[in-house]
């Protein structure tokens, strides 16, 4: 696999693994880090190995729907899946890790199991990774879909500066869970 690669970590372990892989890769790699992850604390696993670029991680297995996310939004997706589990809904959560190349086969395989797809990210809902992922799954995974693909993202506007407005602007677990419920109707 050659060409520019873009990776986005959801936690310190995956950041380290992706960084090791990026350093070893002969091609240029852009590593996107979310500032909220800098304050995150967790146990460090040993040894920290390089993670393969272009390979997504299934963080939670499910049978009713798939939630695809990346970066810091993965934590909101996991929280939404936990909320849905309390309602009897088993949501599979996939962390893309790599945005270019993205692990289309992993998302398609999950869609084939669950038949419903929610894509959650902090970027604006239109014209981004979520829109492209939704379009691609509607194309190659159309026969697997039992409901429309639902995207959860930020509104198409500048990010507000005030903390209260920024909190309302950013997607959260409640919005992801609500989108998941819409796919199940």
Residue 75, domain member (yes or no): yes
Residue 154, domain member (yes or no): yes
Q: Which of 20, 33, 25 is nearest to 3 (CA)?
A: 25
pLDDT attached to residue 16 = 85
Residue 5, domain member (yes or no): no
Rg value, the chain, Cα: 16
Q: Which of 97, 114, 118 is nearest to 16 (CA)?
A: 97
Domain that holds residue 116: 57-184
pLDDT per residue, tens digit, the chain (185 aa), is 568 999 998 887 888 899 999 999 999 999 998 877 777 777 776 777 889 999 999 999 999 999 999 999 999 999 999 999 999 999 999 999 999 999 999 999 999 999 999 999 999 988 888 999 999 999 999 999 999 999 999 998 898 999 899 889 999 999 999 999 999 98
Pairing mode, if any, of strands 57-60 and 91-95?
A: antiparallel
- 120, 84 Cβ separation under 8 angstroms: no
Residue 48, domain member (yes or no): no
Which CATH number does the domain housing residue 175 bear?
Answer: 3.40.50.920
Name the DSSP class of 106: H
Report the C-alpha gap between 140 and 128 in whole angstroms. 18
Partners of 95 in beta bridges: 57, 69
Q: What does each C-alpha distance from 118 to 43, 47, 93, 95 come to in angstroms?
A: 30, 33, 10, 12
pLDDT attached to residue 1 = 52
pLDDT attached to residue 91 = 98
Number of domains in the chain: 1
- 173, 120 Cβ separation under 8 angstroms: no
Residue 35, domain member (yes or no): no
Residue 180, domain member (yes or no): yes
Report the C-alpha gap between 92 and 17 in whole angstroms. 23
Residue 139, domain member (yes or no): yes
Residue 88, domain member (yes or no): yes
pLDDT attached to residue 135 = 96
pTM: 0.92
């Amino acid at each position: 696999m050659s060409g520019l690669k873009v990776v986005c970590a959801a936690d310190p372990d995956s950041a380290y693994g992706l960084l090791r892989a990026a350093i070893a890769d002969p091609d240029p790699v852009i590593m996107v880090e979310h500032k909220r992850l800098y304050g995150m604390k967790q146990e460090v696993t040993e040894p920290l190995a390089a993670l393969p670029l272009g390979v997504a991680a299934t963080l939670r297995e499910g049978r009713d729907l798939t939630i695809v996310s990346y970066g810091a939004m993965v934590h909101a997706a996991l929280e939404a899946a936990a909320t849905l589990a309390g309602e009897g809904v088993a949501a599979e959560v996939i962390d893309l890790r790599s945005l270019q190349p993205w692990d289309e086969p992993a998302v398609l395989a999950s869609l084939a199991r669950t038949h419903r797809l929610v894509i959650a990210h902090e970027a604006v809902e239109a014209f981004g990774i979520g829109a492209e992922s939704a379009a691609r799954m509607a194309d190659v995974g159309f026969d697997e879909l039992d409901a429309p693909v639902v995207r959860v993202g930020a509104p198409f506007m500048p990010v507000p500066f005030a903390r209260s407005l920024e909190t309302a602007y950013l997607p959260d677990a409640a919005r992801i869970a609500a989108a998941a419920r819409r796919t199940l109707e």
